[in-house]
Amino acid sequence: MEQLGEVITGAMDGDAESILLIFALYFLMMCAFSVRYQLRMKAWPKTRGKLLHSRMEHVAGFEWDPADKLYATDAIYEYQVDGKIHQGKKVSPWVMVASHNARFVLQKQLSRIEVGPGNEVCVYYNPNKPSQAVLIKPSNLGIAVTVLFALFPLALYLTF
């Protein structure tokens, strides 16, 4: 406990090593929550729904300056669980905002939505809260990327 106090005091005094350790531990904890959420989401049941629209939308930056624009996915879909109709907006567990030059990442994400005849889609929903849903479940690769992101600051600290 005494060491934790020293780390916090060191961070407050501007010690780079203490600041990096606190950042690494915080980032590790946030990524651990994310991995846990993604693993739970992988077990969500599915139902059929109808895609009302999906697109990439300009969310920030000046309209006249392409280099300054930021984009995000925008989707609306309807689905039914236990006789109740829900409307969802979340495409995947990864909420992404991309620059003008990185729009291809969002286009790739949108292309992973499996749209059938009549705009039918597979909707994965939280069985404990059916109003929470996504169109794309987390993949093992996405979970692995989250783990790598979690370990990077810790590895940086250990080599500091």
Q: Is 79 exposed, middle or buried (0-12, 13-18, 19+ CB in 10 A)?
A: buried
Enumerate residue ranges in the chain where pLDDT < 70.
Answer: 1-2, 4-5, 7-8, 10-13, 15, 58-59, 66, 157
According to the model, what pLDDT value does residue 2 have? 62
pLDDT at residue 119 in the model: 93
In 3D space, the residue among 135, 149, 37 whose CA is nearest the CA of residue 91 turns out to be 135
Q: Compute the distance between CA of residue 93 and CA of residue 146 in angstroms, rounded to an integer.
A: 11
Q: Report pLDDT digits (tens) over 107-148.
A: 888 888 888 899 999 999 999 999 999 998 888 888 888 888
The pLDDT value given to residue 50: 96
Q: What local confidence, expressed as pLDDT, does residue 112 receive?
A: 83
Q: What is the predicted pLDDT for the residue at 122?
A: 94
Query: Is residue 142 within a helix (H) or strand (E), and if so which, with residue range?
Result: helix 140-158
